[in-house]
Amino acid sequence: MGQQYFVIGAGSIGRRHHTNLTALGADSRLVPWRDVDLGALERDLAAADSPAVVIATATPVRFELVRLCAGLGAPVYIEKPMAYRLYDLEHIFAAAEPIAHRSVVGLMMRYHPAVRAQVAAGLETYGFTMEIGHDVRQWRANWRFADSYAAQAEGGGVLLDLCHEIDMAYCLYPALTVQTVDCLGHRDFPGVDFATRITLAAPDGPVGQVAMDYLSPKSIRRMHLSGRDEVVDLDLLVPEEVRSGGGEDRTRRWDFERNDMFLDLMRDFMALAEGRPPSDNPLLPRLDRMYDSAALIATAWEKRRFHGALTGGFE
């Protein structure tokens, strides 16, 4: 028998991973978190031929699964975010050390062609903005916000749910640190951020802001990079890039499907797990390289400040 994959967590993202693994020819088993007994799971993994595990659970239960897998030498694909407190993040990285070079974090936007193009271009910028928003109530069929992980004060909220943008900022500017994090909450969901603005800065620039919300009536995902010689506007949903340098604008588009990113990252995880060379993507989110990005996300969550609260509409 070959590599056996266990997807822990049967929510929408867990089901997507299971479907993609199957489409890629893998032997995949979907295990709902509510059915997991850690002792039984450990026995199943120990009995499997070359197990690998996709952890698609709620964020607060990552550590025990990572520790169990590392003890068995089973590489892991950990869904984002890894943790929302630095204390927990450090424990996860310590536990994962034996398998980190064969494991990944589920930050699939690193495979978006427009993101890769910006990192490769290396535009010298003094400022940037990133914005993502959607009406979370319309995000998935047969889904209620109040029943979801996103509605939980511990591990929920828009900052963690849409933290890809923080990671993209890190990919472009690795020296960024969190300055301020300002949030709008909701009276029915104490401690859950619904609209968040994160100010980030590097010692010698740039200074920028990441904005995310659960409220936008139209789905948006865009980026603006300000340089002295050129400005770049990206619509990551099209996706389209417009570069302007004082003359005629230059427009570029990519032929792209959203699931391509998930498939490309899963291919790389399978390659690492099975001892094969992964792709040449320099942004591959291999776990042993991911502490700084994960720490930026956790630091942002820890620095949240709430300014007022919404009412109604999310029962």
pTM: 0.96
Predicted local distance difference test score (pLDDT) of residue 93: 99
168 and 238 together in one domain: yes
The answer to whether 278 touches 284, Cβ cutoff 8 Å, is yes
Residue 104, beta-bridge partner list = 77, 286
220 and 278 together in one domain: no
Q: Which of 234, 233, 80 is nearest to 164 (CA)?
A: 80
Domain of 183: which CATH number?
3.30.360.10
Predicted local distance difference test score (pLDDT) of residue 94: 98
Q: Which of 75, 19, 10, 22 is nearest to 48 (CA)?
A: 75
Predicted local distance difference test score (pLDDT) of residue 314: 82
Q: Is the pLDDT of residue 48 over 90?
A: yes
141 and 222 together in one domain: yes
Is 291 domain-assigned? no
- DSSP output for 132-191: EE--GGGSSTT--GGGSGGG-TTT-SHHHHTTHHHHHHHHH-TT-EEEEEEEEEETTSTT
Q: Domain residues for 63?
A: 4-108+261-286
170 and 303 together in one domain: yes
Q: Which residue has the higher pLDDT, 196 or 144?
A: 196
Predicted local distance difference test score (pLDDT) of residue 230: 95
Is 315 domain-assigned? no
Q: Distance of CA 219 to CAs 133, 138, 166, 212, 238, Å?
A: 6, 10, 18, 11, 11
Which of 35-49, 73-87, 103-117 has the lowest average pLDDT? Answer: 35-49
Q: Is the pLDDT of residue 315 over 80?
A: no
Predicted local distance difference test score (pLDDT) of residue 142: 72
Both structure tokens of 233: 């506007």
83 and 170 together in one domain: no
Domain of 276: which CATH number?
3.40.50.720
Predicted local distance difference test score (pLDDT) of residue 1: 60
Q: Which residue carries 């942002």 as its tokens? A: 300
Residue type, 199: T
138 and 27 together in one domain: no
Average pLDDT value over all residues in the chain: 96
114 and 238 together in one domain: yes
195 and 273 together in one domain: no
38 and 158 together in one domain: no
Q: What is the mean pLDDT of residues 263-280?
A: 98
274 and 228 together in one domain: no
The number of domains in the chain is 2
Is 62 domain-assigned? yes
10 and 125 together in one domain: no
The answer to whether 64 touches 43, Cβ cutoff 8 Å, is no
Predicted local distance difference test score (pLDDT) of residue 312: 86
pLDDT tens digits along 114-166: 999 999 999 899 999 999 999 888 766 677 888 888 899 999 999 999 999 99
Is 292 domain-assigned? no
Give the H/E segment covering residue 29.
strand 27-31
Predicted local distance difference test score (pLDDT) of residue 144: 85
138 and 96 together in one domain: no
Q: What is the mean pLDDT of residues 69-80?
A: 98
pLDDT tens digits along 220-251: 999 999 999 999 999 999 999 999 998 899 99
Q: Is the pLDDT of residue 2 over 90?
A: no
